[in-house]
A and B are shown apart, each in its own frame.
Chain A
Amino acid sequence: MYITSTRKNINHGDIIRYMPRKLRSFFYSADLSDAREIRLRLGMPVCIYFGDGQYYISKNNNLTRIPTSAVRVTREDIEEAMELAAASSVYSVKNEIKNGFITLRGGHRAGITGSAVVKMGEIDFIKEISAINYRIAGEVIGAADGVIGDITGGGLKNTLIISPPAAGKTTMLRDIARQLSYMGVRVSIVDERREIAAMYEGRSPFDLGFNTDVLQGADKAEGMQMVLRSMAPQVIITDEIGTDADIRAIQKVTNSGAAVIASIHGQNLKMINRRADLRDMLSYFNLVITLSNRLGAGTVEEIIRL
């Protein structure tokens, strides 16, 4: 027995605390309830992305479509924003910075661009930060209502969610985890990019149910095998698979009796089928769900049983 609704659970206060102090007063008076992203670009106007387009913050604390009258971001703002995002501890988020983002309290993420420092052929750090993109996390309780029956009907299905970027696949995975967990299924989330659970100091800001364990920051392939051995999950949920190692790990997990629910970037099943490496991967899945943005993020286009 579980209860779902379509309530959006977003705390914008969490994101404002990461804004540079000079800019914070502008945000307090703006209505951010439908905001998806806030971008700070050096020398450019502060930009907020809503569902219906982008707005700027004017010097009179109003949202405006006119960039010329907007508040601009200075070098000090970017430096302060970085200090706040890293909790004054860049050394502790160095690995995240290497990947181009920092996970913030509340499940939000600060994407970073600047000059990459390359060591031994790999990005070691990003310095001279020029832009920060705050992606505001949204938890949609009930996002998986339309698919949960297909996933659980007749036993847990190995499920692949195909979705283009920003079409709601992570939100969908999160709600699947929550619903399965409340059904009493032991769920393990392998959250390599810290997007699904967005744990901060050991806690997720999202409702993931009572039966959900999260391993975050670990390589997906390695992490799936780790949780399989350590947490005895009935289902492993992970995001954005695609490498050979991921596919081998999925093979091992499915052969071990646990189910896998994973997402992958793509438009539809046909597109995945065109790639030989991914075509083989499909043999490990029983169910494919395709998402799009057609009627808003999280639109379920197809549910295909394989």
Chain B
Amino acid sequence: MITLFGGVMIFFACLYMGLKLRHGLYRRNKSLKEIISSLEALEGEIGFGQNKLKKALVAADKNGMFTFAADNIEDYGVYKAIKKAVDKYRLKLCLREADTEPICNLALTLGKGDGNEELKNITYAKKLLRGQQRDAEENCRRLGKLYGVGGALIGALIVLLLI
């Protein structure tokens, strides 16, 4: 009975790990899409609305990261506020180090130039993030099913070996 219970536990643990890894792949893709969408909204807020950055970030936010940054702008300045937000949300949004680089680089110049400069910088950041998002999408397609099924198969294999 204990062996059976242990086997079931191992199987579900491996299945859970596989699904978690798969969720990470899908979440990363979704997060990158949300960030790109936020940057598109930010372009509108800055280019057409001429809204202050704090307000623009809140209005453009899709997943909480930019709102967190906006809340800290007055205390830390733009770069530090965005860096803090990225650090806080990176794991939650399943982002890799390379995914956050374009955002941090954008933070170095955000709010310091005129409208055209801002738009150019945002467009460039979007371009880099689209590259990352394509990579995330490819990973989802290539590894998504594998992780889901692989977790269950590895779990089953371990249980069989133990029995």
Could you tell me which A residues sit within 8 Å of B by CB distance?
Answer: 80, 83, 86-92, 94, 125
Could you tell me which B residues sit within 8 Å of A by CB distance?
Answer: 46, 50-54, 56, 73, 77-78, 110-115, 117-118
Question: Whole-angstrom distance from the CB of A13 to the nearest CB of chain B?
Answer: 14
> Which one, A80, A88, A125, contacts B111 given CB within 8 A?
A88
Nearest-CB residue, chain A, relative to B56: A89
Say whether B77 contacts A89, CB under 8 Å.
no
Chain B residues within 8 Å of A92, by CB:
50-53
Chain B residues within 8 Å of A80, by CB:
77
Nearest-CB residue, chain A, relative to B110: A88
Nearest-CB residue, chain A, relative to B117: A91
Say whether A91 contacts B54, CB under 8 Å.
no
Interface centre among A80, A86, A87, A89 (most CB of B within 10 A): A89
Say whether A90 contacts B78, CB under 8 Å.
no
Say whether A88 contacts B114, CB under 8 Å.
no
> Which one, A83, A87, A125, contacts B114 given CB within 8 A?
A125
Distance in angstroms between the alpha carbons of A80 and B73 in the assembled complex: 12
Question: Whole-angstrom distance from the CB of A31 to the nearest CB of chain B?
Answer: 25
Chain B residues within 8 Å of A125, by CB:
114
Say whether B112 contacts A87, CB under 8 Å.
no
Say whether B114 contacts A90, CB under 8 Å.
yes
Given contacts A83-B111, A86-B111, A125-B114, contact A91 B50 (CB under 8 A): yes
Say whether B114 contacts A94, CB under 8 Å.
yes
Chain A residues within 8 Å of B78, by CB:
83, 88
Chain B residues within 8 Å of A83, by CB:
77-78, 111-112
Nearest-CB residue, chain A, relative to B75: A21
> Which one, B50, B73, B117, contacts A88 given CB within 8 A?
B73
Say whether B54 contacts A90, CB under 8 Å.
no
Distance in angstroms between the alpha carbons of A276 and B89 in the assembled complex: 67
Top 4 A-B pairs, shortest CB-CB distance: A88-B111, A91-B115, A89-B53, A89-B52
Given contacts A80-B77, A83-B77, A83-B78, contact A90 B51 (CB under 8 A): no
Say whether A90 contacts B111, CB under 8 Å.
yes
Chain A residues within 8 Å of B112, by CB:
83, 90
Say whether A88 contacts B115, CB under 8 Å.
no
Interface centre among B46, B54, B112 (most CB of A within 10 A): B112
Question: Whole-angstrom distance from the CB of B103 to the nearest CB of chain A?
Answer: 16
Question: Whole-angstrom distance from the CB of B146 to the nearest CB of chain A?
Answer: 44
Say whether A91 contacts B46, CB under 8 Å.
yes
Q: List 23 A-B contacts (CB under 8 A).
A: A80-B77, A83-B78, A83-B111, A87-B52, A87-B53, A87-B54, A88-B54, A88-B78, A88-B110, A88-B111, A89-B52, A89-B54, A89-B56, A90-B111, A90-B112, A91-B46, A91-B113, A91-B114, A91-B115, A91-B117, A92-B52, A94-B114, A125-B114
Distance in angstroms between the alpha carbons of A83 and B79 in the assembled complex: 11
Question: Whole-angstrom distance from the CB of B138 to the nearest CB of chain A?
Answer: 36
Chain A residues within 8 Å of B117, by CB:
91
Nearest-CB residue, chain A, relative to B73: A88
Say whether B77 contacts A91, CB under 8 Å.
no
Distance in angstroms between the alpha carbons of A87 and B52 in the assembled complex: 7
Question: Whole-angstrom distance from the CB of A294 to the nearest CB of chain B?
Answer: 42
Say whether B113 contacts A90, CB under 8 Å.
yes
Distance in angstroms between the alpha carbons of A88 and B77 in the assembled complex: 7
Chain A residues within 8 Å of B77, by CB:
80, 83, 88
Chain A residues within 8 Å of B46, by CB:
89, 91
